[in-house]
Chain A
């Protein structure tokens, strides 16, 4: 009888995870209704697209996963070339290839056997390196829940007008992605994080690109609107590397990323090639897998979306028509520093001035101090302030110190004699 209860228990215990997922998704879909009186908060159509962000994650470490780091660095370079600045790129790399003891070309990372392009050459700013690339940190970056001490450069500071590109590469499988050989990112965790991002309006549109084996399963649990996702292979398929560099000794790039880069090398910032041309450029025979993308959560048509909406950085700009001139402002204004002395004292405590009025200020300061001195009734305080004044007026501090040292010597002799 006891055993029967136990098996029932076990079966009950396994289901909560899925129960939680449904509980989570179910009620929230119904209660997040747009405000009825014209407040456009929840519909992403009305907010302007103001900036682009890129989160590039390489989830592998060790020398034989060279190609994953090369993938990520190639995409980093592309995204920077097309205009997204470092301050809007979060780059997570294990970063152990360039200075690896097995690297024949120290401090150089290539993505092609012709070695034409050194990806690690100039100005690579890695935000999370080495063992900081964990599932927890990745989810913290996406959801924005950092400790207070985390600097701004490590945070995803997007707002409701941002388009975010999320690129992940490494080893993956059915509904998971392996992080640095010790952890897994599950597809429902990713879906959960994206859902929370959408609830907090941290993005307007999100493009997820995944280059791993069975990549399409990683975004199978997504439910939030405004998300476009493409993976390099479908369930049951592997993603393959492109070629082996016999000089370096490992494969240097994956097929999906290779063809993506081939598409982008033809573009510059001013082009407006569409996303559908990017997605159609993947040929299953050359990729040796099917690049699967899901557009059911994305409202816009792919032909109308330029790739620079995600991969480049186009700012929305509005011309300033006129200057705001207040006629009552006088040119002198408060530029006069020669005001009353008591105001001077408080001003000096706040500011540190560097212009030519320093001398005037110090003289005023002295006057103020003398005023203060006379007002003080306490003789000791008066003595101390007069002493302080004298000390401050001493010009030759060095000679005073020397005199002091010289007078100390006879005192020393006296004390030793005693």
Chain B
């Protein structure tokens, strides 16, 4: 109840009657009580005490993300491309005792061939070069024997134990024969023949730069369509045997045997680059989509390269039936197509008129198709049951050799064994693991590069997204994944600077997969979030009216108390003056 206080009336001083001067409107005899004030103040205090609890309860949980580190990481990768230390070694044999070239000349020749701006994954500017002459161990190698044996012998002398730094070597042997260059399965190559020192130097430099560093491809741009590794670092190789018309004969294969002999070493070799698993199936009644025509010259049915984009009949070839592949793995399909008897034999004709030796083609990021023609087509059987055949092991091996070539193509390498350079053609030896050691180095470097860039972009997008939506909940898991991703990426960079290619590839793959997990976390949905208007609209009807009343009451009580106090003090002074 509000008490209207009137302005204090100036008291008329009538010293003879102090009691009659008592003006109830401006004075009071007793001290004002504190009960009402304490009551209202305690209610206000409880509101004030409860407010931080309310605030905490409607707070949006956001796990702290290291935005600055993410920006720093992206900036670091942008400014300085990831380069690896490389070591080159040239050994000259059979020249006269005083060679006129030194390591500086070789360094000059190499830097001549490398471009000014190094691409990501290339060698850093501080590569080491050494030139040595007539080492005894190498002289003992007999260069007359066949290439495989020479390769093995060179490996036993040049190759150090695993864990030592990787040195790429070129051995130049001055002999009396035609010049030929061979690149081995490990990390060395040799040039033998009548070659002058200067020519040897330039050829060696070319092999170093174009073959060992760039992998036999054009320098540079890492094309995303030749990086078939899924976002979680896995690839599923799906091998499918397609019988176009099983009425003519059902073909089956012994996949397990060929998997152990051919595929297992390749999977093992590619382990740093990707985690590969293999599946296989046999399908029936799977005709192709394109048409072929009979050609008398080749006495077979011909389809040409213009039909290739229409070959895969996606409606009837149910290839993507893998249950084991996770949502972010990459599936590569390898199809072995057995044509029907009325289209036998089916051959692929190239634009130059020749018939393809392999009868196969790839589609980047999808897989490859090989057309296999059986020995003779089935005759129309009298019995109702189609005749069952099993593809012989030798035929299957040949088919899988083509598959290996296709796998290499899908990774961006070439499937044949020649390198044509400006100073001549070199022969590349083939490895039974599908990839030679130096090719694996190239793949590791490029995949490290690609993965780290992808990781940086993903983390950057995530940090921008999170910062632009300040009321989006960020769970702990995302924070942890981002942290681990940055740590592993740093580890990958450290390994790269040390020159440990496969460890850096594995770490970069892990970093990329963690960054993708964080970005694709299902709780990040940028649909309009728990917005501030929503919060305000929910809580204000509860608290605003009540708090307004509480505040007003406290204020009023405080004012009243002060007035009553003033009145009491006025009375007190009057008494004192009178007495």
Contact = CB atoms under 8 A, between A and B. Distances in A.
A324 interface: yes
A35 B78 contact: yes
B261 A333 contact: yes
B528 to A, nearest CB: 7
- How large, as a class, is the contact surface on chain B? 35 or more
A28 B457 CA distance: 11
Contact of B356 (A31, A37, A160, A319): A319
Contacts of A48: 223, 225, 364
Interface in A152-198: 152, 155, 157, 159-161, 186, 189, 192-193, 196
Given A2-B548, A39-B222, A13 B526 contact: no
Contact of B358 (A2, A28, A320, A331): A320
Contacts of B409: 318, 320
A335 interface: yes
B38 interface: no
A245 to B, nearest CB: 29
Contact of B221 (A28, A46, A84, A135): A46
Interface in B355-407: 356-358, 360-366, 368, 370, 393-394, 397-398, 401-402, 404-406
Contact of B525 (A145, A148, A201): A145
Given A145-B522, A323-B402, A135 B527 contact: yes
Contacts of A145: 520-522, 524-525
B256 A326 contact: no
Given A37-B117, A152-B325, A323-B398, A317 B460 contact: no
B461 interface: yes
A139 B525 contact: yes
A135 B465 CA distance: 19
Contacts of B366: 50-51, 315
A355 B254 contact: yes
A13 B257 CA distance: 68
Contacts of A379: none
Interface stretch (A14-22, A92-100, A222-230): A14-22
B361 A325 contact: no
Interface in B403-444: 404-406, 408-409, 414-417, 430-432, 434
B308 interface: yes
Interface of A: 2, 9, 13-14, 16-17, 20, 23-24, 27-28, 31-33, 35-41, 46-48, 50-51, 80, 83-88, 123, 135-136, 139-140, 143-148, 150, 152, 155, 157, 159-161, 186, 189, 192-193, 196, 199-201, 269-270, 313-329, 331, 333-335, 351, 353, 355
25 contacts: A28-B461, A31-B464, A35-B81, A37-B81, A38-B220, A40-B224, A85-B315, A86-B315, A87-B319, A143-B526, A148-B522, A186-B528, A189-B526, A315-B312, A316-B364, A317-B309, A317-B363, A319-B305, A319-B308, A319-B356, A319-B360, A320-B362, A324-B401, A329-B262, A335-B261
Given A13-B536, A83-B289, 18 more contacts: A37-B119, A39-B119, A40-B223, A41-B224, A46-B221, A50-B366, A140-B522, A145-B524, A160-B225, A199-B461, A316-B363, A317-B308, A317-B309, A319-B358, A323-B357, A324-B434, A327-B148, A331-B397
